[in-house]
Amino acid sequence: MFKEPGTAYVYSIHQVYCVNAVTRPGEAVLIRSVELLDNRSLRSDGPGRLCRALRISRSKHDGKSLTGRDIQIIDNGNALGRISVTRRIGVSKAKNKLLRFLATKITQPSETG
């Protein structure tokens, strides 16, 4: 987590891998879910399922650039809607802190409808 911004920080918790995007040295954002661009129907909701679905591992992806060949996060031009902030879930320490951020995607009206 002390690498350059845009680097993957992969770690295991309870024998399950999780991936973070380093934002600044010592700070990172947990990636909890993604929208797959290749129409695969993999269950990728939740950090553990995400890593299993995309076969993310510490040995292969930790420390890699998130704009590189092995792992990529890209901006596909979808505008984000509202950003919501909620209390943390699934933790006992600081559970009432507003540290959970949710971004909703703006959906465009269908051109055929």
pLDDT for position 108: 56
Whether the predicted pLDDT of 110 surpasses 70 = no
Residue 5 has pLDDT above 90, yes or no: yes
Q: Please state whether the predicted TM-score (pTM) of the whole model is above 0.75.
A: no
Residue 46 is assigned to a structural domain of this protein: yes
The answer to whether position 95 is within a domain reads: yes
DSSP string, the chain: --S-TTBEEEEEETTEEEEEEEEETTEEEE--B---TT------BSHHHHHHHTT--HHHHTT-BTBSSSSB----SPPEEEEEEE---S-STTTTS--EEEEEEPPPPPS--
Q: What is the mean pLDDT of residues 5-26?
A: 92
Tens digit of pLDDT for each residue in 58-108? Answer: 999 999 999 888 888 777 676 677 788 888 777 788 888 888 777 776 665
pLDDT at 113: 47
Q: Which residue has the higher pLDDT, 72 or 52?
A: 52
> Could you tell me what percent of the chain has a pLDDT over 90?
30
Higher pLDDT, 45 or 48: 48
**1 lies in some domain:** no
Number of domains in the chain: 1
CATH code of the domain containing 34: 3.10.300.10
pLDDT value for 105:
67
Boundaries of domain holding 91: 8-105
